[in-house]
Chain A
Amino acid sequence: MDYFLTEEQQMIVDLSRQIADELIIPQRAALDESEEFPRDILDAVAKADLFGIYIPEEYGGFGAGTFEIVLALEQFGRGCVGVATAFAASALGAFPIMISGSEEMKQKYLPDIATGVKKAAFALTEANAGSDASGIQTTAVLDGDEWVLNGTKQWITNAGEAKIYTVIAITDRSKGPRGASMFVVEDTDPGFSYGVKEKKLGIRASSTRELIFKDCRIPKDRLIGRQGTGFITVMKTLDKSRPGIAILGVGLGQAALDEAVTYAKQRVQFGKPIISFQAVQHMLADMAIQLEAARALVYAAAKHIDAHPKDMSKASSMCKVFATDMAMKVTVDAVQVLGGYGYMRDYPVEKMMRDAKILQIYEGTNQIQRNVIGQELNKEYT
């Protein structure tokens, strides 16, 4: 379908598509197998200026919005959700600085993130704090001119690869949700180290590790925004980032549909290509319907977020749930269409199915998204 993109938006699509086709797709199976971080691909993405799409021009970016980053991520997601996650995680790490950081902080960090010279990462999750962010144990205590961080963050995307980390820690437990604050930690800060690399079901090209803070001392001015605003920054960050995860589902769903239709046209059983059988046709039709509906919703949500930065939670959560549930279903069906071949690693759809699962889990499980939507509805109808 034609979504009437502007010339600039079409350029972003064309460039991202070229990177997906020429660099990501040829390497994705090997990266999945070796679980290697895609440094060369991300270097090429950096040279193509795509790390800076969403960063304002005054900090060396392209000055575009959520919709434009979504367009790029759709193509990367079509190529490989593992590679796309590594790219997207840098934006997620940069958002807290963009949303709540001081002018000095923006000037210090955003230009390097925009050029891709430095990658960023976002650190919220802990062993006992996932969907329930109030379980955070990591603490930050002011000691003279320095904050001292202690604790461990878990399953942090881009850990060990990023140079800039935006981390939430408790600064005053007695204040409850207003007792958390966000900080920038740099990879070279004393007392900061990484845990082992996790072994995952999918998105295996992305790096997932622990961040370990042992009396990690950082300068006082690394506090993002005011003390006690950590949760607000986290919520705003996730509202802004979720369409990026949603669109990975759309890109992935498109890739799975492409594989399924191509295969169904070639595979001959009972003397006919299997696409001529209604049972297969209906599966493909349902995949296409769900996919296009998800794309339309994500595009609409992204545009809504760009136009209404204060009212984004519901749109953001709705598109995340719908598109990632779609991706799970469509990839499972793609494996079904390819049958035994689909189950083999020689074909890309089994990887797509493994990659799809994380989309329903990370950046807020789809159950938590439904909570958000429900709460927003409750507010709207008072």
Chain B
Amino acid sequence: MKIIVCIKQVPDAKDVRLDPKTNTLSREGVQSIINPYDRHALEEAVRLKEKHGGTVIVLTMGPPQAAEILRESVSCGADEAVLVSDRAFAGADTLATTYTLSQAIKKIGGADLILCGKQAIDGDTAQVGPGLAVRMDIPYVTCIRRIVEASDKAFVVERLMDDGYDEVEVTLPALFTVVKEINEPRLPSLKGKMKAKKLAITTLTAADIDADTAQLGLKGSPTWVVKVFAPQLKGDRTMIEGTVQEQVDQLAEKLMEWC
């Protein structure tokens, strides 16, 4: 089974700053990490490989520094790494990103399964996974929390919903986005780190992936960021204290007030 895991380099959530002038994330001097949801996607891919055999390829679009997260992924079990990097990709929104990724995936011969995190913690759009599947013209399931059955032809997965979960059967090739409940990502291994150090990362430019330049980067991005702000927290919080009986009484009283 050939599995491609799409990963993104994001600023460490502990250290996020907004540029007040441009309303975009200030990335200067900020530690970069693998998007946490993507770590779960990678872990699931590596577990599938360990169980069923195959190859795990990590793919990212980003500046040359993004090679770092590709090496980190290889130290955690990925086999190969592809960096899609070109000045022409700069400023891409999700529409341009999915175009670029789909061209890159076509270039490397497609995949049986594409795994993504459910969203990136910087943009929080959750659009790239589904958008990529549409571009590739393959079925997708978002927010999967468990792989129930896996074979070369089809998968049965559990999709996390607000009120429970759906069990979905999908034929391959397919794309899944995963939630963090799916697994506990492993730490790197020593052999993985050695491999990552020596690894030759394949770098693909806009020309390499036969891209239509009108669909790339800022030019190919209809999104316009008007304003970015931290939402005001609303609503009161009351702590109910006392014995269990007193707490229940107080709670019942409050609920009655709201009825």
Contact = CB atoms under 8 A, between A and B. Distances in A.
Chain A bound to chain B:
yes
B186 interface: yes
B168 interface: no
B91 interface: no
B188 interface: yes
Interface stretch (B19-27, B130-138, B189-197): B189-197
Contacts of B18: none
Q: How large is the interface on A (under 10, 10 to 19, 20 to 34, 35 or more residues)?
A: 10 to 19
Interface in A330-362: none
Contacts of B186: 44, 47
Interface string A31-69: 000000000000010011110110000000010000000
B191 A49 contact: yes
Counting chain B CB atoms within 10 Å of each CB, the highest count among A12, A22, A44, A48 belongs to: A48
A47 B185 CA distance: 12
Contacts of A145: none
Nearest to B186: A47
A8 B194 contact: yes
A157 to B, nearest CB: 24
A11 B189 contact: no
B32 to A, nearest CB: 17
B150 interface: no
B187 interface: yes
B193 A22 contact: no
Contacts of A49: 189-192
A52 B190 CA distance: 10
A18 interface: yes
Nearest to B188: A15
A7 B191 CA distance: 13
Contact of B190 (A7, A23, A53): A53
A181 to B, nearest CB: 35
A140 interface: no
A11 B190 contact: yes
A19 interface: yes
8 contacts: A15-B188, A15-B190, A44-B186, A48-B187, A48-B189, A50-B190, A52-B190, A62-B190
Given A15-B190, A22-B187, A62-B190, 15 more contacts: A8-B194, A11-B190, A11-B193, A15-B188, A15-B189, A15-B193, A18-B187, A23-B187, A44-B187, A47-B187, A48-B187, A48-B189, A48-B190, A52-B190, A62-B191
